[in-house]
Homo-oligomer: A and B are copies of this chain.
Amino acid sequence: MKTYREENYLKAIYQLASHDKTRTVSPTDIAHWLELKPPTVLEKLGILVKKGLVTYNKFDGAKLSPKGNEVALNIVRRHRIWETYLYKQLKFSWSEVHEIAEQLEHVNSEKLIDRIYDVIGRPDFDPHGDPIPNKQGKLPKSDRRPLSESIKGCKCVVLGVSEHSELFLNYLTELNIRLNDKLVVEQINSYDDTLKLSSKNNETVLMSSKAAQQIQVQCVKPNCACK
C-alpha cells in the first residue's frame, strides 16, 4: 500500500537529508517541510519504521532505509523527468514546472515515465539543474558550488539553482539569467558581498549574496582561482 502521502514523507526525508547532510532530519523539520504538525509526522514515522522504510530515534533523526531510499529516489526521478518534460516539451517556464510535477510524480506508470523520458532525450539534469536518478537510483555526477563562493574575476557557468520558489526563479528570469549561461564576477562588494556580474551580451547585473548562494556554478577556466 504505497499512497502518495507516504511517497511524500519519504521524498521529504530524502530532500531534507540531501539539502544539509550534516544535520539530522527531525520530526519538526519534516512537519515544517510538509506543512504538517510534529505529532502527525511522528505517528507516520512509526508506521514507516514498522514497514522497514525508515529508521528513527530522536538523536539520529529519521533516515531512509535502503528500501526507503529506493522508493524516494524513484519519486525524485519521476518528479525531475516530469519537470523536464513540462519544460522542454510543453513549454512551461522553469518556475511553473515544480508545482505540476508535484502532482504528476505520483502517477504510477513506469511505461509512461519511460516514454516521456525518451521523448526529452534521456537528459541527466532537470530544468533547475538537479540530477535525474537512473532507474537504479544512481545520480549523475556534477561538480558545482554556489556562485557566492566565487572570487573576483571568476568566469563560471550556471549549472543549477538550489531554491525552486517561483519568486526566486522569476527574479532570475528578470535578470535574464538562465541555466547554462556564463557569468563573470566583475566585482564583489566587501561590505555586504553583493556581486556585480556581467552576463549574456555584457549586461551588467547586481546580485545579493543571498541570491548568489542559491545559484550553482562551475568555473569555466580549468585553473580558476576560486577553489
Contacts and interface: CB of A to CB of B under 8 A. Distances in A.
B109 A100 contact: yes
B112 A108 contact: no
A119 interface: yes
A100 B107 contact: yes
A167 interface: no
Contact of A115 (B91, B107, B119): B91
The quantity of this chain's copies bound in the complex is: 2
B103 A109 contact: yes
A91 B115 CA distance: 9
A1 interface: no
A114 B92 CA distance: 12
Contacts of A109: 99-100, 103
A46 B112 CA distance: 37
20 contacts: A86-B112, A90-B112, A90-B115, A90-B116, A90-B119, A91-B115, A92-B111, A92-B115, A96-B111, A99-B109, A100-B107, A100-B109, A100-B111, A100-B112, A103-B107, A103-B108, A103-B109, A104-B104, A104-B107, A107-B107
